[in-house]
């Protein structure tokens, strides 16, 4: 693209393009800033956020030991999550419980192997294993095996939010 | 004997009165720069230390003071130490002849502009020595680039001063300001507009600031001439750079924007309204404007390539100044306009 030489000379001597650039930056000087001040502010989290792992319970009903506050655990040891897990992070053993229902006796997830892909959550027929939207957690060597008790505890901690997020996402499932 | 001591004491006090606020303003100008640039980039900049980030410069200074001074084993130690000193000294010494307001000047030298010009050229030696003494490829390249750049832009800058000399018939900075009295249209930015532009571009190049910061060029030569410097010695370079920037801004406002003169002079009504404002306020405002321009340009323009810098310096700026020198000479000879009558 060749410009006419006269036009080019006038343009460069009036600093036209430099002034245009300066005008642009000056416009941005007065614009709203996009900085997010992290510890005080956070980005909005999607209900589909795949954070820490958890096992859920049913909202009501009695647990096996008769305590009314704890709902029955959802997991029926179908092993679909174990089969679908691409990182082989899930290890599980199952046995018949006293009341005749099939339950897990061992449900370990190695958080170091887990890649938070969410396949286990998709595979689960009873919405037992889920990924919470919580991302502020750390795992150190030694604490990386999440046992059934730990997973259920995490599930209890986030149950309200989990239920709400699932409700929100239900139309798209 | 006692008289001499008293005079000396007086001079030292005057120097402290100039240098201390200068160093303080350097600290806050670094803060202002970070703020301005981040605002132009859609960020909010430093805001954590102290009230709204105002403690940031002091946190930086504290960090630099407590850092270790590293001397590379292959460096020339004496020159290595001499480098930052030689850079800082002229940057501070230049302030001796700057008139802050009417008669507010440490040394009312008749050849004030020449003095400033000489000292700003001296600053290059510090950079050159620092780059050489570090004995590192990057520093050496930075020093070479900086030397070439300063040599070429000093010529254009010198010619702009010739134009000012033609217009004012004086090299004394106070006289130059007084010659511009009579209102904003009497200031030399109007009759010497091309020289003003050339001076500003050359001044930015002289202080090694963006878009002429090839001497530091962090994308290709890390940090240029001060790669090997750490802690306080790096801080001295930093200080010198900013002191030089303020000096260039100060000279620009004295020579082209009427120094301490009020912009409302000669406008009926407004001139009386703003008569109470002391001259130094206008002077500082003008300096602030130029400093903002520095930051603004840094946030806007990409860095020039080396050959582009040489092209601009030799083939554009020098011819422009030469042509405008002739125009100014003719205007003075035939007493044109409100400026040269």
pLDDT tens digits for range B124-148: 888 888 888 888 888 888 888 888 8
Question: Residues 6 or more apart from B214 whose CB is under 8 A from it?
Answer: B145, B146, B149, B224, B303, B304, B306, B309
- A65-85 mean pLDDT: 78
Asked if A39 has any chain B CB less than 8 Å from its own CB, the reply is: no
- The vertex-A40 CA angle with A39 and A46, nearest 5°, equals 85
Rounded to an integer, what distance in angstroms lies between the CA atom of residue B249 and that of residue B288? Answer: 8
Nearest-Cα distance to chain A for B197, in Å, is 10
SS (HEC) of chain B: CHHHHHHHHHHHHHHHHHHHHHHHHHHHHHHHHHHHHHHHCCCCCCCCCCHHHCCHHHHHHHHHHHCCCCCCCCCCHHHHHHHHHHHHHHHHHHHHHCCCECCECCCCCCCHHHHHHHHHHHHHHHHHHHHHHHCCHHHHHHHHHHHHHHHHHHHHHHHHHHHHHHHHCCCCHHHHHHHCCCCHHHCCCCCCHHHHHHHHHHHHHHCCCCCCHHHCCHHHHCCHHHCCCCHHHHHHHHHHHHHHHHHHHHHHHHHCCCCCCCCCCCCCCHHHHCCCCCHHHHHHHHHHHHHHHHHHHHHHCCCCCHHHHHHHHHHHHHHHHHHHHHHHHHHHHCCCCCCCC
Cβ pairs A/B, distance under 8 A: 34
B/e letters for B278-293, b = 16+ CB within 10 Å, e = fewer, are ebeebbbebbbebbee
Give which of A21, A25, A33 to mutate to test B binding, by max B Cβ within 10 Å. Answer: A25
- B65-83 mean pLDDT: 86
The pair of three-digit structure tokens given for residue B329, joined into one six-digit string: 């000479």
| Burial (CB count <10 Å: 0-12, 13-18, 19+), residue A157 | middle
Q: What is the mean pLDDT of chain B?
A: 85
Contacts of B42 in chain A (CB under 8 A): 28, 31, 33-35
Give the single-character DSSP code of A93.
E
A21–B39 C-beta distance less than 8 A: no
Asked if B41 has any chain A CB less than 8 Å from its own CB, the reply is: yes
Rounded to an integer, what distance in angstroms lies between the CA atom of residue B249 and that of residue B253? Answer: 6
- B51-74 mean pLDDT: 87
Widest distance between CA atoms in chain A: 96
Asked if A38 has any chain B CB less than 8 Å from its own CB, the reply is: no
pLDDT digits (tens, 9 = 90+) for B168-196: 888 888 888 888 877 777 788 878 888 88
Nearest-Cα distance to chain B for A1, in Å, is 20
* A66: alpha, beta or left? (left if phi > 0; alpha if psi -120 to 50): left
From A111, A106, A104, A97, select the one nearest A143 (Cα to Cα).
A111
| Burial (CB count <10 Å: 0-12, 13-18, 19+), residue B20 | exposed
- B216-239 mean pLDDT: 81
Q: With the C-alpha atoms ordered A110, A115, A116, A120, is the resulting torsion angle positive or negative? A: negative
Strands A53-55 and A102-110: unpaired
Among the partner residues B39, B297, B301, nearest to A29 by beta-carbon distance:
B39
Q: Are B87 and B240 in contact (CB under 8 A)?
A: yes
Residues in chain B: 341
Question: What is the predicted pLDDT for the residue at A157?
Answer: 84
pLDDT digits (tens, 9 = 90+) for B261-281: 877 777 777 777 777 778 888
pLDDT tops 60 at residue B80: yes
pLDDT tops 70 at residue A148: yes
Asked if B32 has any chain A CB less than 8 Å from its own CB, the reply is: no
Among the partner residues B40, B197, B301, nearest to A29 by beta-carbon distance:
B40
Contacts of B41 in chain A (CB under 8 A): 28
Please tell me whether residue A17 adopts helix, strand or coil conformation: helix
Which runs of E-coded beta strand occur in A3-69? 53-55
Question: What is the predicted pLDDT for the residue at A37?
Answer: 86
Question: What is the predicted pLDDT for the residue at A69?
Answer: 56
Beta bridge partners of A54: A130
SS (HEC) of B171-212: CCHHHHHHHCCCCHHHCCCCCCHHHHHHHHHHHHHHCCCCCC
Give which of B34, B35, B39, B204 to mutate to test A binding, by max A Cβ within 10 Å. Answer: B39
* A100: alpha, beta or left? (left if phi > 0; alpha if psi -120 to 50): left
pLDDT tops 70 at residue A66: no
Please tell me whether residue A156 adopts helix, strand or coil conformation: helix
Tally of CB atoms within 10 A around B230:
15
Question: What is the predicted pLDDT for the residue at B146?
Answer: 84
Q: Are A120 and A79 in contact (CB under 8 A)?
A: no
Give which of B37, B40, B198, B200 to mutate to test A binding, by max A Cβ within 10 Å. Answer: B40
- The vertex-B63 CA angle with B60 and B64, nearest 5°, equals 90
Question: What is the predicted pLDDT for the residue at B291?
Answer: 92
Nearest-Cα distance to chain A for B292, in Å, is 11
Percent of chain B with pLDDT over 70: 99
Give the single-character DSSP code of A2.
P
A61 or B218: which carries more pLDDT confidence? B218
Q: What is the mean pLDDT of chain A?
A: 84
Beta bridge partners of A110: A145
Contacts of A26 in chain B (CB under 8 A): 40, 296
pLDDT tops 80 at residue B217: no
Question: What is the predicted pLDDT for the residue at A2?
Answer: 59
Reported as half-sphere exposure (CB side, CA atoms, 13 A), residue A53 has a value of: 29
Asked if A31 has any chain B CB less than 8 Å from its own CB, the reply is: yes
* CA distances (Å), origin B56, targets A34, B81, B232, B296: 21, 27, 17, 21
pLDDT tops 70 at residue A1: no
Nearest-Cα distance to chain B for A32, in Å, is 7
Nearest-Cα distance to chain A for B324, in Å, is 13
- A132-157 mean pLDDT: 86
Question: What is the predicted pLDDT for the residue at A150?
Answer: 86
pLDDT digits (tens, 9 = 90+) for A26-52: 998 888 888 888 888 888 888 888 888
* CA distances (Å), origin A60, targets A105, A131, A160, B8: 22, 21, 13, 91
Nearest-Cα distance to chain B for A138, in Å, is 26
Asked if A23 has any chain B CB less than 8 Å from its own CB, the reply is: no
């Amino acid at each position: 693209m060749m410009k006419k030489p006269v036009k080019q000379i006038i343009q460069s001597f009036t600093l036209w393009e430099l002034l245009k650039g300066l005008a642009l930056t000056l416009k941005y000087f007065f614009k709203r800033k996009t900085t997010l001040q992290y510890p005080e502010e956070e980005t909005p989290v999607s209900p589909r956020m795949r954070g820490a792992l958890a096992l859920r319970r049913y909202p009501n009903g009695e647990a096996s030991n008769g305590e009314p506050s704890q709902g029955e655990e959802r997991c029926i040891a179908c092993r679909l999550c174990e089969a679908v897990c691409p990182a082989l992070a899930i290890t599980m053993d199952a046995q018949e419980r006293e009341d005749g229902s099939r339950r897990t006796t061992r449900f370990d997830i190695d958080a170091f192997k887990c890649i938070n892909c969410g396949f286990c959550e998709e595979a689960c027929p009873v919405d037992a294993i889920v990924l919470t939207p919580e991302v502020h957690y750390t795992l150190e060597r030694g604490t990386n095996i999440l046992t059934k008790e730990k997973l259920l505890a995490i599930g209890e901690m986030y149950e309200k939010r989990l239920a709400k997020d699932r409700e929100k996402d239900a139309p798209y499932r | 004997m006692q008289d001499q001591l008293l005079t000396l004491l007086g001079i030292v006090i005057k120097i402290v009165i100039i240098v201390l606020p200068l160093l303080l303003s350097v600290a806050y100008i670094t803060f202002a720069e970070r703020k301005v640039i981040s605002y132009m980039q859609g960020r909010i900049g430093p805001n954590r230390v102290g009230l709204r980030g105002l403690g940031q410069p002091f946190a930086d200074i504290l960090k630099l003071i407590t850092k270790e001074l590293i001397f590379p084993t292959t460096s020339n130690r004496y020159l290595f130490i001499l480098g930052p000193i030689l850079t800082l000294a002229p940057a501070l010494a230049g302030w001796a002849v700057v008139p802050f307001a009417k008669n507010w000047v440490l040394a009312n030298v008749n050849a004030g502009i020449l003095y400033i010009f000489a000292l700003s050229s001296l600053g290059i030696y510090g950079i050159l020595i620092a780059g050489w003494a570090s004995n590192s490829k990057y520093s050496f390249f930075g020093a070479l680039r900086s030397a070439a750049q300063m040599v070429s832009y000093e010529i254009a800058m010198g010619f702009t001063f010739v134009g000012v000399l033609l217009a004012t018939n004086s090299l004394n900075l106070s006289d130059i300001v007084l010659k511009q009295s009579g209102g904003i249209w009497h200031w030399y930015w109007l009759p010497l507009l091309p020289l003003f532009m050339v001076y500003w571009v050359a001044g930015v190049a002289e202080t090694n600031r963006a878009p002429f910061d090839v001497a530091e060029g962090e994308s290709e030569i890390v940090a240029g001439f001060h790669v090997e410097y750490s802690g306080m010695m790096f801080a001295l370079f930093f200080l010198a750079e900013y002191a030089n920037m303020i000096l260039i801004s100060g000279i620009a406002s004295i020579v082209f924007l009427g120094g301490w003169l009020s912009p409302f002079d000669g406008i009926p009504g407004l001139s009386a309204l703003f008569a109470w404002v002391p001259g130094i306020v206008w002077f500082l405002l003008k300096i602030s404007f130029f400093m903002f321009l520095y930051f603004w340009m840094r946030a806007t323009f990409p860095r020039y390539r080396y050959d582009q810098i040489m092209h601009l310096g030799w083939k554009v700026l020098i011819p422009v100044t030469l042509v405008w020198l002739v125009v100014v000479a003719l205007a003075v000879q035939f007493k044109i306009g409100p400026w040269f009558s």
